[in-house]
Amino acid sequence: MKALLATALLLTLAFPVESHEHRQYGPIPAEDPLKETYQGYSAALQNAGKVAMTPEQLLAFNRDYYKLIAARNYQSEMFTKAGGNPPPYFTLERLKAEPFYKPTISRLIRSTNPQHRMLAYMTVSSAGDSSFNDVIWKSIPTETETDAKFWQGTALLYLKDKHTSDLFDFLVANETFGDAHMLPLYFKLDKDALRETAYEKINSPNIKAQILAVQSLSVTGPCPKTEKVVKEAANKMQSRAKGHAIYTMKTLKMGNLKELLAPLLTEPALAGIAFSALLSSPTLEDQQFAESKTAGTGEVPSYILTGYLGMDDPENLKKLLILIRDRPVATSYRLRSFFNTGFKSDSVYSQLKDTIRKTKNRHVVPDLIMVMKHARDDDGTALLTQLASNPDPAIQKMARLMLGVR
């Protein structure tokens, strides 16, 4: 059921449906684009508590009113990117003034029907109503439905509940870190509260708690105690988990990392992020040590390429492109640059075109062409046009894709 619900929610967010057999939306009033959708939600909410609700009906509710289920939409930037300006943070705030609202939510949130409960959690969060937070907290220990637990946590997080340590424990128990949906909301909580909770939890024997604690410190800003705590955690954490601590070191630009991170450059799972952290360090010795690893004329170790790609400043991205241009790169290497906005820089774009033209690592060229989506000029268009006739099918296909031709 959880997989079904999660898949459906993601699909409806990516491909929203505005009308259905049982409801036809008319023209949206210019003065309030969500007015009619709000009226439909209001009427459906009143009726929901009067009958048993099935999982399929809840999915349909999500589909019909995805624009108003604010907590879900704000978990991803997809909604903003797809729809332009985001809706109000609490899209259903005026519901709280409706006479039916309080008794309806009171009934739904205590219902034995899990769909009723989930609908209540969605509604109070989207209405900005924290008056039911105590009810949600009391119901968490007895809630057996995984999907309902997800919406309990989402509601409390979206409403910025003050029980940060309890929310931390809830996430450790209920969030899937490899496919996290609630964590972005947790990281938006009060930074001081997040920091103190992280200090409290970072020495937990639970590896998930260690990871969440050290990751949350990456959003709380640098300070001497945080630096000390994160470095101590990196020494104690299990091998692969150290990467989360190193990520925080990189994000907060911690210094004096050579002694701690140099041994990790031989560990494939950690070398790339360790190299990035050394490059990000304000300590000259750390930077020089990292740069020394790039010397030579032989094949560039993949961790160095990964480390440079993990930087978003133009100078380091240019160094990455120069290495790909001038030195051999493993045939298995792929440039995963999709989320690096540093490639939008004019100076990086110029180097990118030069690398595409000159590199002997032609297996990387399709990935380099993909980077050109960040910017385009006449010279770039001419280059793509030339590559669209390249004898290498992969290069030709990617160039034609960027040009929008078949």
pLDDT tens, 300-353?
Answer: 999 999 999 999 899 999 999 999 999 999 999 998 876 788 888 888 999 999
- Report the b/e string of 367-406 with b at 16+ CB within 10 A: bbbbbbebbeeeebeebbeebbebeeeebebbbbbbeeee
**Is 34 inside a domain boundary?**
yes
pLDDT at 84: 52
**Residue pair 246/270 in contact by the 8 Å Cβ criterion:** yes
The predicted structure's pLDDT at residue 240: 84
- Which portions of the chain are predicted below pLDDT 50? 1-30, 75-83
Instruction: Give a yes or no: residue 69 inside a domain.
Output: yes
Q: Judge whether 36 lies within some domain.
A: yes
Condensed to tens digits (0 to 9), the pLDDT of residues 168-199 reads 999 999 998 877 789 999 999 999 999 999 99
Tell me how far apart the alpha carbons of residues 62 and 359 are, in angstroms, rounded to a whole number.
49
Q: Is residue 357 part of a domain?
A: no
Question: Has residue 198 been placed in a domain?
Answer: no
**How far apart are the C-alpha atoms of 258 and 264, rounded to whole Å?**
10
Helix, strand, coil proportions of the chain in percent (round to 5)?
65, 0, 35
10 Å CB burial of residue 174 (0-12, 13-18, 19+) is middle
Domain housing 91: 1-158
Considering only the C-alpha atoms of the chain, give the largest distance between any 2 of them, rounded to a whole number of Å: 75
* Phi, psi for residue 332 in degrees, rounded to 5: -85, -10
Is residue 123 within 8 A of residue 94, CB to CB? The reply is no
- Global pTM? 0.84
Please count the structural domains in the chain.
1
Cα 243 versus chain centre, distance: 17
Residue 85 neighbours by CB distance under 10 Å: 5
Q: Is 186 domain-assigned?
A: no
Tell me 112's DSSP state: S
Contact of 198 with 217, CB cutoff 8 Å: yes
Nearest to 305 by CA among 316, 315, 296: 316
Q: Is 137 contained in some domain?
A: yes
What is each CA distance from 134 to 70, 92, 152, 264, 391, in whole angstroms? Answer: 21, 20, 11, 46, 66
Looking at residue 342, what is its pLDDT? 85
Task: Give a yes or no: residue 151 inside a domain.
Answer: yes
